[in-house]
Amino acid sequence: MQVIKNQIFASIYLRAGLACSYLWEVADRLGILGAHGQPHVGWGDWSHFMDYARQTMAFMPQSIIPVFGVIATICEGLFGLLLLAGLFTRYAAIGSALLSLAFGISMAISFGIESPLGYSVFTVSAASLLLASLPNYKWSIDSLLNKNQIS
């Protein structure tokens, strides 16, 4: 087996995969992908997303769950955009790892360990950490800024 010595493809693939996943979920909960109940739509609106958030964070005081729902949505949108553009990639990847780890732990507490394992939430967290550990990010705003600083 040959070890991949050039991480360009892995870096781009991780960035794109994580970014698209986050942006898809944000679009779904904001109703951009269609109404609740339509094919390929999970929540379809904020109300259905908050119902799921209440179930996922059932162990927390009900009054703070909407705040965490908003924070998670903002973070997912921000991380998605930053990763897609390749701007502050390492920080966005670390944030993604922490956010998805928190989500996975919440799912495990509320629904059992099979839920975050079945939805690969811990895999998203691990992939984010792997992305954060890469030495550079080709085809990104970060790499353009680094070239300008070196010159």
Decide if 75 is inside a domain.
yes
Decide if 66 is inside a domain.
yes
Decide if 74 is inside a domain.
yes
Distances (CA, A) of 35 to 42, 76, 108, 126, 137: 9, 21, 28, 32, 37
CB 65 within 8 A of CB 107: no
Structurally, the chain folds into a number of domains equal to 1
**In this predicted model, what pLDDT tens digit does every residue of 114-143 receive, in sequence order?**
999 999 999 999 999 999 999 999 899 999
Decide if 2 is inside a domain.
no
Decide if 4 is inside a domain.
no
pLDDT band of residue 29 (cuts 50, 70, 90) is: very high
Mean of pLDDT over the chain = 94
Decide if 23 is inside a domain.
yes
Q: Give the domain extent around 99.
A: 9-150
**In this predicted model, what pLDDT tens digit does every residue of 84-124 receive, in sequence order?**
999 999 999 999 999 999 999 999 999 999 999 999 999 99
